[in-house]
């Protein structure tokens, strides 16, 4: 939203004469109110732009609620910007329905949250990419972990699905998936590896380094220690669309034994998703 607003502002300023007596902000709002869309859409844009939506962050300031944690992702404060744009649950809708807008915003600046690749991309020559993800099964008190290893041509090298007791948070499940993935890569004797996951709160401390004081910090430190065993190793964040095969493996974990491995193969349910990733 912020990136889109900035982009519209810059484009509007380019196209308008400098002698105009309307500020860029007023010109944008005038353009929004003149759109040929239902009034409820214009009202939503206005309320979002003025931060007057009843987000949990706003309600917390008014002491209506006791916490502002997003009810969907349960990861960050639910501001208007988070609820409409950066929440990982909402991001899936943006990727599927508004891919053109994500590309437009990605080109508007390096700080855009849409800058992560929206689809799976092959690693550099002679490198291997390891995607991992998690799935939770609340009723059964278990979680599924999935990992998918591909070479620089996108060909399957190895995959696994694993079942574990349900941890206390989504972040804990994801970081355990990351540790299982890196242990799996070491067992395969891989040398140059890119590890890719779709939960930014986990990938950020892994990719940027520094001390992690979170409840799962000891596991991220263990992952970093294990990563020293590779010739070259990096951690990257991707959007869910670029991690769909790993997610399907995690969802399928409950169908198999505690830890199930496929060499140069993958379960039938994941094949269509894998084929859609191929160039």
Query: Domain limits at 35?
Result: 2-114
- Based on the fold, state whether residues 162 and 58 are members of the same structural domain: no
Q: Is 53 helix (H, G, I), strand (E, B) or coil?
A: coil
DSSP result, 134-154: EEEEGGGTEEEEEEEEE-TT-
Give the bridge partners for 150, in sequence order. 129, 156
CB 72, CB 63: distance < 8 Å:
no
- Based on the fold, state whether residues 67 and 137 are members of the same structural domain: no
Residue 122 within a domain? no
Task: Tell me the average pLDDT across 147-154.
Answer: 94
pLDDT surpassing 70 at residue 184: yes
- Based on the fold, state whether residues 148 and 67 are members of the same structural domain: no
- Based on the fold, state whether residues 239 and 162 are members of the same structural domain: yes
What is the strand order of the sheet 192-197 is part of? 232-237, 192-197, 128-137, 142-150, 156-165, 259-263
Tell me the C-alpha distance between 108 and 4, whole Å: 8
pLDDT of residue 240: 83
Residue 177 within a domain? yes
Residue ending a domain, among 47, 81, 114, is 114
Residue 120 within a domain? no
Tokens for 48? 């979002």
How buried is 212 (Cβ within 10 angstroms: 0-12 exposed, 13-18 middle, 19+ buried)? Answer: buried
- Based on the fold, state whether residues 84 and 220 are members of the same structural domain: no
- Residue matched to tokens 């004797």: 189
23: confidence class by pLDDT, cuts 50, 70, 90: low
Residue ending a domain, among 79, 114, 149, is 114
- Based on the fold, state whether residues 81 and 171 are members of the same structural domain: no
- Based on the fold, state whether residues 100 and 139 are members of the same structural domain: no
Between 134 and 53, name the one with better pLDDT.
134
- Residue matched to tokens 């699905």: 161
- Based on the fold, state whether residues 71 and 104 are members of the same structural domain: yes
Tell me the C-alpha distance between 160 and 170, whole Å: 20
- Based on the fold, state whether residues 269 and 144 are members of the same structural domain: yes
Least confident of 49-53, 95-99, 136-140: 95-99
Q: What is the pLDDT of residues 97-124, one digit of tens each?
A: 666 655 555 554 444 444 455 578 899 9
96 Cβ contact partners less than 8 Å away, ≥ 6 residues apart: 241
- What is the number of H-type helices and E-type strands within the chain? 12, 6
- Based on the fold, state whether residues 145 and 202 are members of the same structural domain: yes
Residue 145 within a domain? yes
The tally of domains found in the chain comes to: 2
pLDDT of residue 47: 82
Residue ending a domain, among 83, 114, 145, is 114
pLDDT of residue 31: 76
55 Cβ contact partners less than 8 Å away, ≥ 6 residues apart: 68, 78, 79, 80, 82, 83
258 Cβ contact partners less than 8 Å away, ≥ 6 residues apart: 162, 163
Residue 89 within a domain? yes
Q: What is the pLDDT of residues 51-62, one digit of tens each?
A: 788 888 888 888
Residue 59 within a domain? yes
pLDDT surpassing 50 at residue 13: no
The reply to whether the predicted model has a pTM over 0.75 is no
- Based on the fold, state whether residues 97 and 177 are members of the same structural domain: no
214 Cβ contact partners less than 8 Å away, ≥ 6 residues apart: 171, 205, 220
Q: What is the pLDDT of residues 202-236, one digit of tens each?
A: 988 888 766 677 888 899 999 999 999 999 999 99
- Based on the fold, state whether residues 132 and 100 are members of the same structural domain: no
pLDDT surpassing 80 at residue 171: yes
Residue 123 within a domain? no
Q: How far is CA 29 from CA 12, 23, 249, in A?
A: 11, 10, 46
Residue 158 within a domain? yes
């Amino acid at each position: 939203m912020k990136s889109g607003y900035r982009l519209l502002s810059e484009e509007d300023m380019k196209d308008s004469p400098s002698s105009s007596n309307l500020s860029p902000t007023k010109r944008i709002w005038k353009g929004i109110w003149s759109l040929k869309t239902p009034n409820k859409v214009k009202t939503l844009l206005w309320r979002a732009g003025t931060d007057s939506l009843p987000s949990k962050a706003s309600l917390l300031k008014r002491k209506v609620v006791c916490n502002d944690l997003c009810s969907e992702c349960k990861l960050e404060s639910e501001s208007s910007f988070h609820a409409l744009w950066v929440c990982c649950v909402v991001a899936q809708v943006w990727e599927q329905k508004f891919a053109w807008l994500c590309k437009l915003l990605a080109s508007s600046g390096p700080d855009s949250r849409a800058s992560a690749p929206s689809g799976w991309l092959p690693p550099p020559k002679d490198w291997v990419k390891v995607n991992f993800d998690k799935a939770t099964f609340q009723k059964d008190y278990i979680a599924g972990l999935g990992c998918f290893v591909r070479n620089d041509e996108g060909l399957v090298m190895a995959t696994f699905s694993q079942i574990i007791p349900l941890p206390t948070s989504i972040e804990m499940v994801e970081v355990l998936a990351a540790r299982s993935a890196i242990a799996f890569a070491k067992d395969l004797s891989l040398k140059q590896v890119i590890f890719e996951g779709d939960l930014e709160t986990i990938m950020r401390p892994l990719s940027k380094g520094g001390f992690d004081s979170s409840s799962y910090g000891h596991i991220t430190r263990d992952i970093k220690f294990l990563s020293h065993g590779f010739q070259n190793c990096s951690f990257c964040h991707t959007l869910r669309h670029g991690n769909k095969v790993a997610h399907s493996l995690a969802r399928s974990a409950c169908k198999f034994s505690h830890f199930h491995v496929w060499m140069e193969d993958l379960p039938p349910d994941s094949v269509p998703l894998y084929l859609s990733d191929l160039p």
